[in-house]
Structure 1
């Protein structure tokens, strides 16, 4: 007898990676309070996604992600997400091709946060590549682009090397140090900030450390109301205030 699937599950489209996925990482099944099912998009690596808008489009990611998404839909996914915030460039086309809600990136939290805050921070794996086109794809109005303060981890640091380099092991302490240092740089540059969106889905394992060190509220796909709405009634975490 074949094992049965959960009645409703969250479908997670992940890049083709080998790095460890810690609790809190979107690729770790324990990260969400609802059942998940992961599909790896073979041949799509971290550097295919994390690059400028023109380069990502040239990488031709839409079709393999669309095919994997449809497979998850056939298996019963109630909502679908991805493992990289830069994939927000695919949001409009994926949602148009889907029958269920698609939330491709934590950057899609920005419009709602900007309705309540004068400025919102973004912590990213690559500030060099996270241009305005990605923010616009996430729904940030042109008039509010300047109100998004972006900070990235050091390009040559342990965090970037591990996840962009797709390394099989991680130095957790060194990676945490990189993420905390970036958050603290952002806080020094924009001391009025209260809310911080974690673009990279490998960053939530360090969310509590960031909050304790900076006083910032962190946001990720783990708190996305749009992503978790189909599971209303499940044991979901309370929204942050």
Structure 2
């Protein structure tokens, strides 16, 4: 038998990944970072009420850093093994939150950029599909990719009507078929204009539901929040091997 002891402020136990949610009213279908059925392991959510789509994506406001750190610390106290978020633009807070915590922190899918680039041929490039291209500035991108070794081509979803109404304008309803058609169209245009694109990275946490469709349309490896989260979860919960020899 094992002896279990109460741990700090924990109200429940067994959560693998802690997920910081920004305050929004977006629907979260299966495959979205905000939908718990997207994972094969337990996750725990914590909403940061002071961080909104408007303040984070549209304004790039970093005054909420203290609130982000406090929310991450609450998740850490609950026993999660790593912490992520549901917006790639949370990259603004990556260094500060990582410095304040003891567990790995991966607030943006964009953190995968150096790894993705390192796997491609020198002449290849990386395609990024994001929520708002005008807000994915070079200074922000450099927080994840400070020493570029491959070119990056960015396409935004801000002018895609179905995506914009559901995600950026938070109108309360999401047509997944329409959004899938919009992102596939952009992905196909991206590789048509830049055939040297060797992999595609989806910045937005609302886009993983369409990763398979993007892959079918382009034939490229497609990375997103879920590939990153699954990677860290696997590294934090290694399994012993058994089998014949």
Q: Same fold (TM over 0.5)?
A: yes
In structure 2, the residue matched to 1:189 is 193
In structure 1, the residue matched to 2:215 is 211
Count of aligned pairs: 226
5+ long unaligned stretches in structure 2? 1-9, 241-245
CA deviation profile, 1:68-120 (whole Å, cap 9, x unmatched)? 11111111111100110011121111100111100011100000111121311
* 2:112 aligned to which of 109, 125, 130: 109
Please say if residues 154 and 178 of structure 1, whose CA atoms lie closer than 8 Å, have aligned partners that are also in contact: no
RMSD across aligned positions (CA) = 1.9
Given the two structures, how large is their TM-score scaled by the length of structure 1? 0.87
Q: Does 1:37 pair with 2:44?
A: yes
Please say if residues 109 and 202 of structure 2, whose CA atoms lie closer than 8 Å, have aligned partners that are also in contact: yes
Deviates more, 1:180-189 or 1:198-207: 180-189
In structure 1, the residue matched to 2:170 is 166
In structure 2, the residue matched to 1:123 is 129
Secondary structure at the aligned position of 2:215 is classed as helix
CA deviation profile, 1:4-34 (whole Å, cap 9, x unmatched)? 7333421000111121101110011111222
Q: Distance in 2 between matches of 1:93 and 1:59?
A: 11
Q: Distance in 2 between matches of 1:171 and 1:90?
A: 31
Displacement of 1:206: 0.5
In structure 1, the residue matched to 2:17 is 10
- The structure having more radius of gyration, on CA atoms, is 2
Q: Which runs of 4+ in 1 moved over 4 A?
A: none
Q: Distance in 2 between matches of 1:227 and 1:198?
A: 19
Displacement of 1:194: 2.4
Secondary structure at the aligned position of 1:77 is classed as coil
Please say if residues 8 and 231 of structure 1, whose CA atoms lie closer than 8 Å, have aligned partners that are also in contact: no
Q: Higher relative contact order by CA 8 Å / sep ≥ 6: 1 or 2?
A: 1
CA deviation profile, 1:143-196 (whole Å, cap 9, x unmatched)? 43x601111124252102211112211122221122112111211111122211
Please say if residues 158 and 168 of structure 2, whose CA atoms lie closer than 8 Å, have aligned partners that are also in contact: no
Secondary structure at the aligned position of 2:51 is classed as coil
Displacement of 1:228: 4.2
Please say if residues 151 and 182 of structure 1, whose CA atoms lie closer than 8 Å, have aligned partners that are also in contact: yes
Please say if residues 18 and 166 of structure 1, whose CA atoms lie closer than 8 Å, have aligned partners that are also in contact: yes
